[in-house]
Each structure stands twice: as structure tokens, then as C-alpha cells.
């Protein structure tokens, strides 16, 4: 059999991008399945984004991840988009199919999948979301599409919070409301799932946690964090002390990477291998899976 020295190429465009760990888990997955794929982490500035996007077909790439500041800038280059990506208004994953650039957003899908792996259903659940940035928007939309009854958005910037609420109301069946984050905010009564969708607590600021009244967390809640380094944040520790079920951001990141893996290769991703690779990379403890 003739040897193929040309790998199938995928990767990520971003700026900054030096601290993006996605390649670690994707490369581990490729190696585990013996796939001749390579994941390349590339610094692409906004000024060079047009040239970079036009290079995808010329380089015969299989697909690409987009991180800040390109998730919205990429939209005009796409031939097709998933329904969720259209609602969110941002794309973090591209696959090239039959010469067409097809965009999707796996941020929120990865979060939903991580909850499912922990046997947490979103059907008819009342969500409280801290934050209204890009990750928060993707998570809110996917939770609503997965059957959540309502999403309460708590955010310091009122216009961003209200904009996210309007998106949920216009494009999903879920109810939505905005609460200002101008004090130590109590968790709304009746919350089933509390989500920190802000970067508060991310390394190196590992002692920080969102300014909420932690005594309003109850044992019947599921509490999740998008922060993956550390995997067990102060936010999750405070929730666990009060009896809540906790789900770390590490699972979300790996689920997102696994979805990208399958989109590009057509193969089921080796989740456990990818999860362990990321834990090893950050020298993390047991955490939640």
C-alpha cells in the first residue's frame, strides 16, 4: 500500500491563541484512532483574517475552529450554517464539505452533552445563567433548544443581558428574563441548573468566584462552570459544600472537542482518551467526568 505523507489538516484561528489547549485533546483523539490528521494552532490577526479564510480551500483543509475575535467575523465567508449557529450569530467550527464552508457552534452543544453525560436532563428545567458573553449565549440557546423551560440571565451589562433574553424569546420555546448583577446576587428561587458562563475563577485567578449569595444554592440544584482550569473551581467547591451536584468545565471542553472531531472525521471521538489527555496537560485532579 502506497504511503500517504500528507496529513488531513484542521486547526484553530485566533488572536490571542497561544494558550488554546484544543490541539492537545484533538491530537490525542487522532492518535488513538490511528487517523492521519493534524491540528494546527494558528495566530491570525483581524487584519489577516481574510487571507487566512481564503487559504482554507487552497490548503485542502478539512475544517477549522474559530476563537476570539473571529467567531462573528467568519459569518460572511460561510456557504451554510446550522440552525443553532444562525440563532447564536457566531460560529466556532467549520467543516469543508463538497467545496462548501459549513459553520456550526459547538460551544453550547458541548455544554449540553456534558450535562447529559452526568445524567442531567434539561427538559422543563429552570436555568440561571451568570454572564451574557459568547459562551453564555451559545449555552443559553442550546439549553433552550434542548427543552429548558426558562433561562434567567444575570449580567452586569444590561444591554447584553437583555439582548440575550430577546434572542431566547424570539427563537426558542423557552421563557427568559434578565436580572441586573449590581450586588451580591441571590440565586433565583426555583432554579434547577445554575451556570457560571463567565471566566471568573480561571487560572491564574483560581481563588476568585462569582459574586452571588452561595447560601441560596440548594441541594436539589445542579451547578456547572465553564472554567476548565482548574477543573474544580471555588465556585463549584462552594456549591458542593451546600449539597448541589456539580459539573466541571473540563467535561464541556472535551465534549465540544469531541463534537468537532466527529464533524471533521466522521468517526466517533474517543472521549475518555481526550479527557485524560487534557487532565494530564493541566495536571488536574480527579474532577468530574
Any bridge partners for residue 179, and if so which? 154
Three cell numbers written together for 171:
427563537
- Hey, which residues are catalytic here? 71
Distance CA 152, CA 129 (A): 6
What's 35's DSSP letter?
Answer: -
For 262, what's the count of Cα atoms within 13 Å in the CB-facing half-sphere? 12
For 234, what's the count of Cα atoms within 13 Å in the CB-facing half-sphere? 15
Closest CA to 43 of 70, 63, 4: 70
Distance CA 23, CA 27 (A): 6
Amino acid at each position: 500500500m502506497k504511503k500517504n505523507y500528507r496529513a488531513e489538516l484542521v486547526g484553530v484561528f485566533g488572536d490571542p491563541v497561544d494558550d488554546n489547549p484544543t490541539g492537545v485533546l484533538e491530537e490525542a483523539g487522532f492518535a488513538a484512532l490511528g487517523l492521519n490528521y493534524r491540528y494546527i494552532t494558528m495566530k491570525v490577526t483581524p487584519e489577516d483574517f481574510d487571507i487566512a479564510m481564503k487559504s482554507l480551500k487552497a490548503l485542502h483543509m478539512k475544517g477549522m475552529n474559530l476563537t476570539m475575535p473571529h467567531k462573528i467575523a467568519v459569518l460572511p465567508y460561510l456557504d451554510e450554517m446550522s440552525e443553532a449557529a444562525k440563532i447564536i450569530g457566531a460560529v466556532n467550527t467549520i467543516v469543508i464539505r463538497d467545496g462548501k464552508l459549513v459553520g456550526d457552534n459547538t460551544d453550547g452543544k458541548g455544554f449540553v452533552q456534558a450535562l447529559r453525560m452526568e445524567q442531567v436532563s434539561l427538559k422543563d428545567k429552570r436555568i440561571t445563567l451568570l454572564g451574557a458573553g459568547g459562551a453564555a449565549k451559545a449555552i443559553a440557546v442550546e439549553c433552550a433548544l434542548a427543552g429548558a423551560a426558562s433561562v434567567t440571565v444575570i449580567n452586569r451589562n444590561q444591554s447584553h443581558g437583555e439582548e440575550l433574553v430577546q434572542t431566547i424569546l424570539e427563537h426558542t420555546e423557552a421563557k427568559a428574563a434578565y436580572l441586573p448583577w449590581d450586588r451580591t446576587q441571590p440565586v433565583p428561587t426555583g432554579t434547577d441548573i445554575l451556570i457560571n458562563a463567565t471566566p471568573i475563577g480561571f487560572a491564574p485567578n483560581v481563588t476568585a468566584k462569582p459574586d452571588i449569595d452561595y447560601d441560596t444554592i440548594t441541594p436539589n440544584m445542579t451547578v456547572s462552570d465553564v472554567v476548565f482550569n482548574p477543573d474544580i473551581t471555588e465556585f463549584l467547591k462552594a456549591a458542593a459544600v451546600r449539597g448541589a451536584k456539580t459539573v466541571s468545565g473540563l467535561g464541556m471542553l472535551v465534549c465540544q472537542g469531541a463534537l468537532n472531531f466527529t464533524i471533521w472525521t466522521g468517526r466517533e471521538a474517543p472521549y475518555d482518551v481526550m479527557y485524560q489527555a487534557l487532565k494530564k496537560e493541566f495536571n488536574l485532579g480527579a474532577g468530574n467526568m
